[in-house]
Amino acid sequence: MVVLELNEVTMRFGGLTAVNRVNLLLNENEILGLIGPNGAGKTTIFNMITGIYTPSAGKILFQGKEINGLKSYLLTRKGIARTFQNIRLFGELTVLDNVKIGGHVRSKGNLFGALTRLPAMAEERRIAEKARSFLAFMGLAAKEQELARNLSYGEQRRLEIARAMASDPTLLLLDEPAAGMNPQETMALMEMIRRIRDKGLTILLVEHDMKLVMGICDRVAVLDYGEKIADGTPKEIQSNQRVIAAYLGEAG
Amino acid sequence: MINAYYLQVLTIMGINVIMALGLNLITGVTGQLSLGHAAFMSIGAYAAAILTLNYGAPFWLALLFGALVAAFFGVLLGFPTLRLSGDYLAIATMGFGEITRVILLNLDIAGRALGISGIPHSSNFSTVWILAVLSIVTMVFVGNSRLGRAFLAIREDEIAAEAMGVNSTYYKIQAFALGSFFAGLGGGLYAHYITYLNPSDFGFMKSIEILNMVVLGGMGSIPGTILGAGVLTAVPEVLRAVREYRMLFYGGLLVFMMIFKPNGLLGGVHFSTIRNWLIRIFKGSAGSPAGGSRGGTGAGEDAKTRVQEG
Amino acid sequence: MFLQQLINGVTLGSTYALIALGYTMVYGIILLINFAHGEIYMVGSFIALILVVSYKVNIVAAFFAAMLGCMILGVLMERIAYRPLRHKNSNRLSALISAIGVSIFLSNLVLMLRGPQTTRFPDVIEYQFYSIGPAQISNLQILIIVISAALMLGLQYIVMRTKVGKAMRATSMDMQTAYLMGINVNRIVAITFAIGSSLGAAAGVLVGIYFNAVSPLMGTMAGMKAFTAAVLGGIGSIPGAMLGGVLLGVAEVLGVAYLSSSYRDAIAFGILIIILLIKPSGILGQRALKKV
C-alpha cells in the first residue's frame, strides 16, 4: 500500500524554484532515504509534507487523500510526525513532558478535565506510562526528569524521535537524525530506526551520513537543484552515473 | 489582631494575586505578551458592578458574570490577534486596552468620565482570599494537565508544538479566555471592595503593574507570581519613595529584571519544588529528592516533579 | 471640507511617518518593537522647547540639537537595555518587556522632572496662509511636509546608496551571516538606533511647533500611532513606513472630522487591529517566510 505520494510537487519562493516537479512514492513499512547536496530542496519537501509550506503546484497524497495546505497539527492528527534538522525541543520542559506533549493528539483532556481532576487522573497515568515506554525505547529512561535543553546533542536528537513517536504516527519523517552524532551513536541510531520500522512505521529520512543511508534505507531518492535525479535501491544509486556526477563525485 | 489598614493591604494583595495569576497563564505559561490585562479587569469590574447596581444581582452572581464577560472579550480579541506573532499581539492588546478605556469614558451605562460609585461593599478579606486560593488551585491543576502542557509547548516552540498536533491558535485563545476570566474576577472583587470605578484606574499603567508582578516573581511560576503580587502590593505601602515614583520604579524594574534576572525571583519554581525542598529539609538528605515523593500520589504529580537547574 | 482635511492629514501624517521610520528600521534589524521610541520623540520635543525657551536658542539650532541629543539617547538606550539581552541570547519576549520598561521609565522621568502639564511651545515662525482652491495651507504645514520629505529621502539615500546602508540591509536579512562577513553588527545596530532616534526627535520638534504644545505624555500615544503606521505600510519597509504614516494621518483627521473627536485615539488602534486581521504584512511588506 502506498502511504505517501508526491505528484509533480513544486515549491517556489519568489523567483526561486526550490523544488521542481518532484514525484515520490513511499510504500507501507518502507524506509526511504532522501539525499542530495545542501540546498537541493530536501527540507523544503519535509516542510511541505508537514504543512509548514503549501506547495505552489502539484499534489501530496497521504494514504490516498490529498493533504496540500493542511495545517501541521491536522497532519499530526492524521498520522504524520517529524523531527527537525535544527532541533526544536521544548527546552525548558522535562524530557518526560516533551514526550507527553508528543502524545497530545492521542490523548484527551480539556479544561473541565483539568479542573475536575478525577476523570483526568487515569488518563494522565496512561499518558505518562506511554511516554515512559517511548523514552525507554529510545534509551532515555534515566533522563526523564532532566530539562530537555540539558541533554547532549545526540540525546536531544533521540528525544525528538521519541516525541514524534508518541503521536503514534503512520509516517515518520526524520530530518538529519544523525547530525552531530559520533560513529557509535550513529550505529545505535541505525538500530533504533530499524526497530521503529519493525513496529510497522513508514519512514522518510533526510541524511548526509551515507553509511546510515546506505545501511538502512530500502530505497533512496536523490535531489539536485530541486529536481529528483534518481530513485532506486542503495546499490543502484551508488552506481548511478548522474548521482555520482552531481553528488557523490563532489564528495570525493 | 490585624488592624484595618493591614487587612485592606492584604485584601488588595489577594485581588492582585488573582489577576496576576491570570496574566501569568497568558504571558508566563503560554508565552503571549498581553499589555491589556487592565482592560479585562475593567470589563469584569464594570460588568459586575452594573449587574449589582442596576439589576440587583447577588454578589456571587455578579462576580461570575463579570469574569465571564471578561473571558468572552478575551476570546473576541483572541480570535483575530492570536494568529499573529508575539510582538503584534502585544501591540494589539495594548490597543485593545486603550479602546476599552475610551469606550468606558463614553458609555452612559458606565457613567462616562465620572465612573460608577456606590457599589455595595460586598468583598472582604475572606471572600477575596477564598477565591485567591481557588484560583491558585485551578492554576496548579491546569498546569499539570494536558491543557497546561499544550500551553507550555506553545511558549517553548510554537512550530514544534504544531508539529506535535497542538492547534496553537485554539490553545492560545483558551489561555487568553482563562487569563481574562481571572482578570475579570479580580476586577469584580475590586469593584465591590473599593465601591467606585473610574476608567482612569484601568489604564495602560495598571496593565504594566500587573505585568511587573509576574515578571518580578518569575514568568510561568505560580509561587513566583504570588510572591510578585505580594511584594509589589506591599512595597509601595511600606516605601514612600517607591509609592511616589511608582511608575519610574516599575519601568526601571522591568529593564533590570530582564537584564539581570529574566526568570524572576522564583523562575522555574513550582509548588512541587517547594515541597521537595521541605521534604529534604525535614527528612535530611536521606530521601531522593526528585523521585522520592512520587509513589502513590497519582499520575498528576509526575508533571509537578520537575528537576531544577542549580 | 475635504481638501482642507486632506492637507491637515498629510501634515500630521508626515510626522507619523518620521516616527514610524524609527520603528520600522529597528524592527527590520533586530526584530524588536522599540516601545521606547515614542518617548524619544517626546524627549526631542522637550530638548528643543527648553533650548528655545530657557536658553533663547535659535529654532533651527534647537532642531538639530534635539536630533543630536536623541541620537545619543537612542544609542545609550540600545547599549543599556537591549544589547545585553541580545548577547545573552534571551528570547524575544525579554527584549520586548525591556523595551516597555525603558518607555515607562523615560516618560515618567520627564513627568517627574517637568510635571504632567502641557507646556506651550513658543511661536517660532510667523504664520502665513496660502490658498489652494477653497482650502488653506500654512507655511508651517509646507515646512513640515518639506522637512519630513527631505529627511526621508536622506534616509533612503543612506540605506540604499552608502556602505553603512548596505551593511544595514545585510544585517537585517541575516544578522549571523552579516557578522561572519565581517560586519560589526553592534555598530550597525547602534547606527540604526541613532538614525531612527534622530528622525523621531525631528518629528517631536515639528509636532511641538505645529500643535504649540509639548507634554511628557505625548510620546506614548504618538508612538502607538506611528507603530500602527509602520505596520500599515509593512513593518521593516522604509517606503512602507512613509506611506503608512501619511495614510494614518489622513485617516485620523478625516475620522475626527466626519465621525467623532472623542474616539480620535481609538481610530488608529481600530485601524491597527483591522490591518492585523486582513493583511498583517501591511501594504508594502512581504510575508516573512517561516524558517524551520
- Nearest C-alpha of chain A: how many angstroms from C2? 40
Q: Catalogue all structural domains in chain B, each as residue range(s) with its CATH number.
A: 4-258 (1.10.3470), 271-304 (no CATH)
Of A51, A71, A90, the CB nearest to B156: A90
In chain B, residues with a C-beta closer than 8 Å to the C-beta of C224 are 91, 94-95, 98
Window 64-83 of A: residues touching B by CB (8 A cutoff) are: 71-73, 76-77, 81-82
d(CA C73, CA B198): 36
pLDDT at B293: 35
* Three cell numbers written together for C184: 560589526
Contacts of C161 (CB under 8 A, 6+ apart): none
Neighbours of chain B (3+ CB pairs under 8 A): A, C
Rg for chain C, CA atoms, rounded: 19
The verdict on C226 touching B (C-beta cutoff 8 Å) is: no
Average pLDDT, rounded, for chain A: 91
For residues C20 and C221, which has the higher predicted lDDT (pLDDT)?
A: C20
Rg for chain A, CA atoms, rounded: 19
- Nearest C-alpha of chain A: how many angstroms from B89? 21
Of C98, C106, C272, the CB nearest to B258: C98
Of A13, A43, A88, the CB nearest to C289: A13
The secondary structure element, H or E, covering residue B224 is helix B222-238
Please spell the DSSP secondary structure of B276-302, one letter per residue.
Answer: HHHHHHHHTT-S-TTTTTTTTS-THHH
CA of A234: how far to CAs of A33, A179, B128, in Å? 9, 20, 70
| pLDDT of C256 strictly over 90 | no
Assign B43 to helix, strand or coil: helix
CB contact under 8 A, B98 and C266: yes
Query: For residue B138, what is the nearest residue in chain A, using CA coordinates?
Result: A115
Neighbours of chain C (3+ CB pairs under 8 A): A, B
Query: For residue B205, what is the nearest residue in chain C, using CA coordinates?
Result: C104
Q: Closest Cα to residue C41, out of C61, C58, C62, C66?
A: C66
pLDDT at B296: 33
- Nearest C-alpha of chain C: how many angstroms from A64? 27
Residue C95's φ and ψ, nearest 5 degrees, are -65, -40
Residue B254's φ and ψ, nearest 5 degrees, are -60, -45
- Nearest C-alpha of chain B: how many angstroms from A132? 11
* Three cell numbers written together for B192: 465591590
Q: Closest Cα to residue A39, out of A13, A62, A57?
A: A13
Q: How many CB atoms lie within 10 A of CB B132?
A: 24
pLDDT over 90 for what percent of chain A?
A: 76
* Three cell numbers written together for C181: 562577513
Of B91, B103, B256, the CB nearest to C272: B91
Of B145, B163, B305, the CB nearest to A82: B163
In chain A, residues with a C-beta closer than 8 Å to the C-beta of B163 are 50, 72-73, 76, 81-82, 84, 88
The verdict on C267 touching B (C-beta cutoff 8 Å) is: no
SS3 annotation, chain C: CHHHHHHHHHHHHHHHHHHHHHHHHHHHHHCCCCCCHHHHHHHHHHHHHHHHHHCCCCHHHHHHHHHHHHHHHHHHHHHHHHHHHHHCCCCHHHHHHHHHHHHHHHHHHHHHHHCCCCEECCCCCCCCEEEECCEEEEHHHHHHHHHHHHHHHHHHHHHHHCHHHHHHHHHHHCHHHHHHCCCCHHHHHHHHHHHHHHHHHHHHHHHHHHHCEECCCHHHHHHHHHHHHHHHHCCCCHHHHHHHHHHHHHHHHHHHHHCCHHHHHHHHHHHHHHHHHHCCCCCCCCCCCCCC
- Nearest C-alpha of chain C: how many angstroms from B3? 34
Of A72, A93, A94, the CB nearest to B162: A72
In chain A, residues with a C-beta closer than 8 Å to the C-beta of C292 are 43, 47, 52, 84-85, 88
Average pLDDT, rounded, for chain C: 89
pLDDT tens column, A166-207: 999 999 999 999 988 899 999 999 999 999 999 999 999 999
The answer to whether C196 and C227 are in contact (CB under 8 A) is: no
pLDDT tens column, C76-133: 999 999 999 887 766 778 888 999 999 999 999 999 999 889 999 988 888 889 988 8
pLDDT tens column, A201-243: 999 999 989 999 999 999 999 999 899 999 999 999 988 888 8
Window 19-78 of C: residues touching B by CB (8 A cutoff) are: 31-33
Assign B157 to helix, strand or coil: coil
Contacts of C138 (CB under 8 A, 6+ apart): C127, C128, C129, C130
Contacts of A189 (CB under 8 A, 6+ apart): A154, A157, A158, A177, A178, A181, A212
The pairing of beta strand A202-206 with beta strand A31-35: parallel
Query: For residue A44, what is the nearest residue in chain C, using CA coordinates?
Result: C292
d(CA C249, CA C9): 5
The answer to whether A167 and B165 are in contact (CB under 8 A) is: yes
B&C contacts, CB < 8 Å:
123
In chain C, residues with a C-beta closer than 8 Å to the C-beta of A43 are 292
pLDDT over 70 for what percent of chain C?
A: 97
C2-278 fold: ABC transporter involved in vitamin B12 uptake, BtuC (1.10.3470)
The gap from C-alpha C212 to its chain's centroid, in whole angstroms, comes to 19
The DSSP secondary-structure symbol of B24 reads I
What dotted CATH number matches A1-79+169-252? 3.40.50.300
How do the domains of chain A map onto residue ranges? Answer: 1-79+169-252, 90-167
Place of cell 487522573: A121
Q: Closest Cα to residue B47, out of B194, B193, B191, B179?
A: B191
The DSSP secondary-structure symbol of B85 reads -
pLDDT at C147: 93
* Three cell numbers written together for B186: 479580580
- Nearest C-alpha of chain C: how many angstroms from B181? 22
pTM of the model: 0.87
Q: Which residues of B make CB contacts under 8 Å with A? A: 138, 141-142, 144-150, 152-153, 156-157, 159-168, 174, 178, 268, 290-291, 298-300, 302-303, 305-307, 309
* Three cell numbers written together for C51: 533650548
d(CA C145, CA C162): 25
| pLDDT of A131 strictly over 80 | yes
Q: Which of B156, B164, B172 to mutate to test the interface with A (most CBs of A within 10 A)?
A: B164
Please spell the DSSP secondary structure of A32-58, one letter per residue.
Answer: EEEE-STTSSHHHHHHHHTTSS--SEE
| Residue ranges of chain B whose pLDDT lies below 50 | 286-310
- Nearest C-alpha of chain A: how many angstroms from B54? 32
Q: How many CB atoms lie within 10 A of CB A76?
A: 27
CB contact under 8 A, B262 and C90: yes
- Nearest C-alpha of chain A: how many angstroms from B165? 4
Question: Which of A52-56, A57-61, B244-248 has the weakest average pLDDT?
Answer: B244-248
B104-108, C174-178, C283-287 — which one is most confidently predicted on average? Answer: B104-108
In chain A, residues with a C-beta closer than 8 Å to the C-beta of C289 are 13
Residue range C197-225: average pLDDT? 91
pLDDT tens column, C260-272: 777 777 788 788 8
